[in-house]
Amino acid sequence: MQRNIFENTRQWRLFIEAIPYVGREETSEYQHLLYGIELGDLRNRSYTKGPPFSFLPEYKNPCWLERLQAQYMTEHVNHSFHDPNNIKARKLYPIYKERLQRDSYPWRFRCLPYFYLAGVTKSGTTDFINMLLRHPQLHGPLVKEPMYWNRRRYPNGVQVGNGTYIGRGTKIEHFPFNSYLALLDYSAHLLNTTNDGRLHLIGDSSSYLFWEDNGWPSHPGNKGLTVPGYTTAMALHTAQPDAKLIVLLRNPTERASLYSEHLNEWLKIFQRKQLLIIKSEDYYRDRMKILEGTFSFLNISDIGNETRSWIERQPPIFKSVYSPMLAKTRNVLDSFFRPFNRRLEDLLHRQLW
């Protein structure tokens, strides 16, 4: 049964009318969500304006109530980047249609993710998120990697490779913030209708989030700069200063990545306690131990024996298998990455590779 968190109709009406409706397109009021900063604050480089929404204190996950407008029935088709025929998305249509026809103040329950699996690619993120979401208190968006904060929020898309594309390697337009929320609506619905939903969490597993920010030159605050002054980390922090980030790192010799440079940018914005850094080698060595540590980081209960047994029976997911690296090549790369690895260890206060 749908819960009503308000004691009476008047309280509900006053609350719902006070909540700003996030329309299908970003307006100047929500420009800070587009760029991660108030345009008027560029001069003093302020970016910590606090969350744009008043999140419901009853829920652990950042959620709010929003007035439901009639255009909802078409906005998913016109403004969302997931298949509108998705079986989970379709379940919401009749619910919202009934509210629009029945209620004087129709509403919908919306959420942002509580945590982000921020990286990195080819480090076991697919296997990790698949196993993590077996926990009954954890939910994900309708697509594995929405890529909103590091790609989709930019009005002109981003330049990747030889073309401007977002998603599956095709040229595609920018998508508004509301479309990102649409990917989370089904999970938000579960949080609002499940008996213990107030303790449930939503996660976004956009693994490029940690290191990719190719759209930074289009940020007004970066005009004329040769390196970004305003970053994806700032954009996310503006909306969610309390967000938690999980980062899987693989031996940089295998990935050819300068982790310390990227991590340093995130640690300028987020507190160290908000980041969980996992070596993918440790994850594949003992998946359950790492998953249990992640549940503890998210402050949720452990999983039951049945789910634990299921996870332990699953073979690891490897999307790509490459030929072994030549020993000479490995030695060259090890030498190159060694000082960067030491820098990473200094940042994390732990030995890695």
Highest mean pLDDT out of 85-99, 167-181, 285-299, 339-353: 285-299
Cα–Cα separations (whole angstroms), residue 130 to 58, 109, 115, 291: 28, 25, 15, 11
Rounded Cα–Cα distance for residues 89 and 189 (Å): 10
Average pLDDT, the chain: 76
Burial of 233 (0-12, 13-18, 19+ CB in 10 A): buried
Residue 28: what pLDDT?
A: 38
User: What is this structure's pTM?
Assistant: 0.80
Rounded Cα–Cα distance for residues 292 and 310 (Å): 15
Q: Which residue has better confidence, 176 or 59?
A: 59
What structural domains does the chain harbor? 9-348 (3.40.50.300)
> Strands, E, within 137-257: which ranges?
138-139, 159-160, 163-164, 201-204, 244-249
E strand or H helix that includes residue 319: none
Structure confidence by residue, pLDDT tens digits, 58-94:
999 999 888 887 776 665 554 455 565 677 877 888 8
Rounded Cα–Cα distance for residues 94 and 41 (Å): 43
